[in-house]
Chain A
Amino acid sequence: MILETKALGRDFGGLTALNDINFAIDDQEIVAIIGPNGAGKSTFFNVISGFYPPSRGTVSFRNQNMTGTPTHIFARLGIARTFQTTHLFYNGSVLDNLIVGYRQKTKMGLFDAILRTPRARREEADSREKAQEVLNFIGLAGISTEPVANISQESAKRLAIGLALISEPRLLLLDEPAAGINHNETKGLVELIRKIRSHGTTVCLIEHKVQMVMGLADRIMVLNYGSKIAEGSPTDIGSNQKVIEAYLGRAHHA
């Protein structure tokens, strides 16, 4: 077990976006979270990645209670994430983005930078090398010098994943990685996610493309109105009455 939530809840003003979630993610599995729009999926991610403090309950990561931990420490402990609306650093090239992504692993300070000490040079070289490695892994080596503002939606999605991967996280959270890309591209992405897992990283993803999830995930959690309404293998979920009702009962767009 890598991450566990106990009675986790989060409110926004009067709205309960997340309620009483007990959930655990095991080492090296691929879990998916599905649910209608506004079900609280992204909120769940935001809470377990340290972006929003929970209103109730606890998150523990590798048996460590994360209550009160600053956001950037979540990342340093090994929880990496992407955002639903793809976040990238739009002023740089693909390579530039990845280099910054590696910053948390480097230690150089102000004087290293000003004096260009051996450490500064070594770390800059390391960052580049690591970035190149990740570029190959996510299949973007061919466009490494391209400004991010010019790359395709699919490449942007892959780059966002690469940014999260470069610090070698233990747990990777992907918020709708396949949104806005076509069928073939989605297949490629599934391959990438499998490859990530085979390198030892646990993956948890939110996805509306149910078909993709059914083929990819080991386990699925279904949220509706902030509560967990089902959890189980893809086959269990596919035949779960509550899940079918939740999807039929509310207009939703895949």
Chain B
Amino acid sequence: MLSKNQKFKWSWLFYLAVLILAFIFPALNPGSYYIQVVSLAFIYAIAVYGLNLIEGYMGQLSLAQAGLFGFGAYAAALLTMKLQLSFWLAVPLASVLTAVVAFFIGLISFRTRGHYFVIFTLCIGVIINLVIQKWDAVTGGMNGLIGIPKPTPLGPISFDSLKAQYYLILVFLLLTVFVMYRLVNSLIGRTFVSIRNSEELAAALGINVMKNKILAFCVAAFFTGMAGSLYAAFIRFIGPDISSPTLTFEFLLYLLAGGQASIAGPIVGTLLMSGLTESLQFLRDYRLLLFGPLLILIVKFLPMGIVGLIHKLASRSPFRRSAAKSLNPSKTVKGEGL
């Protein structure tokens, strides 16, 4: 009991420190380049939280994620450019639209299982990508859309500066983390994890497996679409690339590196991997050369990612000897929120 309390306090302090760091980061004058890099990583992290929900907690590897990200981005861009909607209306609307699209995708795709589901969602992602590429009249085809408006000022607060945009994105990220935290620590989150563990047992306990899968997928899509719409407003130029399967694979790498089925995993993985890419400048164009083998090494040696590793080390530390008795750490670590 005592060790549990201790763990709680320590991790609470740690998170507070991280939060403070996130808020003072721009004040440290890191240069606009780094602010931009971190802001973009935050946006991707929001999408990775979506993937974390559906793959990490629910155990359904959806490869349609970049497709949904692209959908959200184009939806927000078109809403602000063509309909002149305010950013504050366009972002929620685009997110909801993405969730609605996911609802229909889920209705069909969750009838399939295992590898069929993965391939099915990959195909959905490819279809979205191809349609964005080809539908010139709406999406601008290969040229994409340029001149997407900046986030609309909120009363006296304008988002013209990079720093202001950084804080805006940070707030969206914190909102995402908050929702995910509440969700996975509720009965709903427990239900998702139970389905990941055994669909059969969940069904025997009266849980509607299909309904829960669709719910998780829609929530995941909502945040993925939100990330896409933030991307559109932040970068202000979008092309079909942002919906390509390659981006899905990158999301997957971020998630696995950080650690799936944990609340810290997506942000840790995304910051780390994009940080790695940026610091190895010469590798920027060839990052997949590094990412590919990394992905293989992670699934082989670090299936629960960095956060999982930290958990494992922490449970071995002398302060928490009781937890170290666990015979099967890999089984017990999965699913525990950080």
A: which residues have CB within 8 A of B? 49, 51, 70-73, 75-76, 80-81, 83, 87-92, 96, 99-101, 103-104, 106, 108-110, 112-116, 120, 123-124, 127, 147, 149-150, 163-164, 167
A149 with B201, Cβ < 8 A, contacts A72-B207, A113-B183 known: no
Q: Mark B305-338, 1 if CB is under 8 A from A, else 0.
A: 0000000000000000000011110011011100
Chain B: minimal CB distance from A54 (Å): 17
Do residues A108 and B205 form an inter-chain contact, with CB atoms below 8 A? no
Among B206, B325, B326, B331, the residue within 8 A (CB) of A72 is B206
In addition to A101-B205, A149-B332, A167-B206, 10 A-B residue pairs with Cβ atoms within 8 Å of each other are A75-B205, A90-B331, A91-B335, A103-B191, A104-B205, A114-B183, A116-B182, A124-B187, A127-B187, A163-B201
Q: Can you name the residue of chain B whose Cβ is closest to the Cβ of A120?
A: B186
A109 — which chain B residues lie within 8 A by C-beta? 188
Do residues B205 and A167 form an inter-chain contact, with CB atoms below 8 A? yes
Chain A: minimal CB distance from B255 (Å): 18
A127 — which chain B residues lie within 8 A by C-beta? 187
Check if B298 is an interface residue, CB within 8 A of chain A. Answer: no
Do residues A103 and B328 form an inter-chain contact, with CB atoms below 8 A? no
Check if B107 is an interface residue, CB within 8 A of chain A. Answer: no
Check if B193 is an interface residue, CB within 8 A of chain A. Answer: yes
Taken together as a complex, chains A and B put the C-alpha atoms of A192 and B209 apart, in Å, by 30
Chain B: minimal CB distance from A157 (Å): 14
Do residues A113 and B201 form an inter-chain contact, with CB atoms below 8 A? no
Chain B: minimal CB distance from A100 (Å): 5
Do residues A104 and B206 form an inter-chain contact, with CB atoms below 8 A? yes
A83 — which chain B residues lie within 8 A by C-beta? 200-201, 204
Taken together as a complex, chains A and B put the C-alpha atoms of A254 and B114 apart, in Å, by 35
Check if B143 is an interface residue, CB within 8 A of chain A. Answer: no
Do residues A106 and B187 form an inter-chain contact, with CB atoms below 8 A? yes
Interface centre among A76, A103, A115 (most CB of B within 10 A): A103
Chain A: minimal CB distance from B308 (Å): 12
Chain B contact residues, majority secondary structure: helix
- 13 example contacts (A-B, Cβ-Cβ < 8 A) are as follows A51-B204, A71-B204, A72-B207, A87-B200, A88-B201, A92-B190, A100-B187, A100-B202, A104-B207, A113-B189, A115-B182, A120-B187, A147-B328
B207 — which chain A residues lie within 8 A by C-beta? 72, 100, 103-104
Q: Can you name the residue of chain B whose Cβ is closest to the Cβ of A76?
A: B206
Q: Mark B7-20, 1 if CB is under 8 A from A, else 0.
A: 00000000000000
A91 with B197, Cβ < 8 A, contacts A75-B206, A104-B207, A149-B328 known: yes
Check if B198 is an interface residue, CB within 8 A of chain A. Answer: yes
Q: Can you name the residue of chain B whose Cβ is closest to the Cβ of A109?
A: B188
Chain A contact residues, majority secondary structure: helix
Taken together as a complex, chains A and B put the C-alpha atoms of A76 and B203 apart, in Å, by 10
Check if B73 is an interface residue, CB within 8 A of chain A. Answer: no
A80 with B327, Cβ < 8 A, contacts A103-B187, A113-B182, A113-B187 known: no
Among B186, B205, B326, the residue within 8 A (CB) of A147 is B326
Q: Can you name the residue of chain A whose Cβ is closest to the Cβ of B192?
A: A100
Taken together as a complex, chains A and B put the C-alpha atoms of A110 and B214 apart, in Å, by 12
Do residues B191 and A89 form an inter-chain contact, with CB atoms below 8 A? no
Do residues B189 and A75 form an inter-chain contact, with CB atoms below 8 A? no
A147 — which chain B residues lie within 8 A by C-beta? 326, 328, 331-332
Among B186, B202, B336, the residue within 8 A (CB) of A113 is B186
A89 with B193, Cβ < 8 A, contacts A72-B208, A104-B205 known: yes
Taken together as a complex, chains A and B put the C-alpha atoms of A194 and B193 apart, in Å, by 33
A88 — which chain B residues lie within 8 A by C-beta? 201
Q: Which of B171-193 contact A (CB under 8 A)?
A: 179, 182-183, 186-191, 193
B328 — which chain A residues lie within 8 A by C-beta? 147, 149-150
A149 — which chain B residues lie within 8 A by C-beta? 326-328, 331-332
Do residues A103 and B190 form an inter-chain contact, with CB atoms below 8 A? yes
Chain A: minimal CB distance from B29 (Å): 36
